[in-house]
Copies of this chain bind each other. A is one copy, B any other.
Amino acid sequence: MSNEKLTPRSENYSEWYNQVIQRAEMADYAPVRGCMVVRPYGWALWENIQHALDGMFKETGHVNAAFPLFIPMSFLEKEKEHVEGFSPELAVVTIGGGEKLEEPLVVRPTSETIIGYMYSKWIKSYRDLPLLINQWGNVVRWEMRTRLFLRTLEFYWQEGHTAHVSEQEAIEETLRMLEIYTRFATDYAAVPVIPGRKSSSEKFAGAINSYSIEAMMGDTKALQAGTSHMLGQNFAKAFDIQYLDPNNELQYCWTTSWGVSTRFIGAIIMTHGDDQGLIMPPKLAPIQVVIVPIYKNDEERARVMPVVENIRAELASLRVKVDDRSEVTPGFKFNDWEMRGVPLRLEIGPKDVEKGSVMAARRDIPGREGKSFLPQNDILHAVDELLAQIHDALFERAKTFRDSHIQEVNSYEDLVSAVEKGWAYAWWCGNGECEARVKEDTKATTRCIPMDQPEGSGECVVCGKPAHEKVYFARAY
């Protein structure tokens, strides 16, 4: 709880980010380097994210399970690209029960290997396929430079792992999950994202193709907010995941994996937040509506509180908090809940009681413009409508901001200047050397080759050779 002003985003974006997380009590630094504690307010947001995604996963036939935290070191070594990608980031258990272990155990950085091992035991026939399992859990990657939510040693996520009879089915699954992530970002988090394919150099270690959703943060940097990987038969061959087809012949499966993590909380903070604090998207907000009773004395309080309780009861289907603290002023409360990003504040005072109305203040529109009076009767309907409007307004604002910071460029010079102040959208020949040159010169990387491509072809913005796809370049988190 604090009414201190935040460092403005324009002054120091990264300082603003750290402050808003601390002041809103979303997370805290753990006593272990690079680890975080997700505090109740932050975890409540994650639970709402989990609930939304889990529903979409189950609707599409996925089930949850739990695989072990520890993976034998030898497992990682079975897929060459995979071990190369992850070995610099591993936390390793070498002692168990006071004894040195014969084989060190890796704390999972991701679970393709151990799940692949189990799938090879479980899958016998084509009748066992597709196998569509998801896991909610924690993973560890030994990162050197960490940021709360964005990059921490331990983080929370879901990882889906599926096995299929054919390449075609695996591709469909990979794209289905990309679609679900896009829908989740848009419909629940009000975060506009661009779904697309990652370049070879940016793909998951061990994948044939990786796909991602990319979002623009308030400082115009890009954030990869979810990924979906087509793993081909790489892990099936490494772990011998085979099935008998209808002709009784052994075939290797085709597998996929896909994940969204607590990083998405960082995306929400940096997409919607302003200099007053967080702005929570209404569908995921831990508290959707805060009610602040306004009174000067006990007599007024006695008139106001029954109405407050009525309104709370009417709004029982929403996540509502009544802030009846006596030790702080209404003004303090307003600032406090603005910091925490509660999308809608209702104020109820003696005048409102008389008039049968409630004062509503939108978090996304400061000052008088965001205020309106709602009728006490039919309050649920009025509040639902306002929350839906806030969702749409947040999405539109973020999309307008993003689109105004994407520049379509045709020359290398324009590309270099575009990624200084936003994203560049350009033809690219697909050559890794061109990509590397841009990174070297500007720190911008290819974010994704969007699914939605223009007609025709052009010239690579770097080398000028023929190019058949357009790509986004941007500095990224």
Contacts and interface: CB of A to CB of B under 8 A. Distances in A.
Contacts of A35: 68-70
A117 B32 CA distance: 11
Contacts of A91: 70, 93, 95-97, 105
A454 interface: no
Nearest to A115: B37
Interface-central residue, A91, A127, A133, by most chain B CB under 10 Å: A91
Interface stretch (A136-144, A360-368, A374-382, A436-444): A136-144
B127 A68 contact: no
A419 B320 CA distance: 54
A72 B31 contact: yes
B114 A30 contact: yes
Given A40-B63, A138-B69, A98 B87 contact: yes
A56 interface: no
A336 B85 CA distance: 43
Contacts of A70: 32, 35, 91, 140, 153-154
Interface residues of A, number: 57
Interface-central residue, A42, A133, A140, A144, by most chain B CB under 10 Å: A140
Contact of A68 (B63, B94, B154): B154
Nearest to A154: B69
B64 A37 contact: no
Contacts of A104: 95
A30 B97 contact: no
B68 A118 contact: no
Interface in A9-39: 28, 30-32, 35-39
Given A47-B64, A96-B142, 12 more contacts: A35-B68, A40-B133, A70-B91, A70-B140, A89-B97, A90-B95, A90-B98, A91-B95, A92-B93, A96-B153, A127-B327, A137-B138
12 contacts: A31-B72, A32-B105, A37-B65, A38-B66, A40-B133, A69-B69, A70-B153, A87-B98, A88-B97, A90-B95, A91-B97, A127-B327
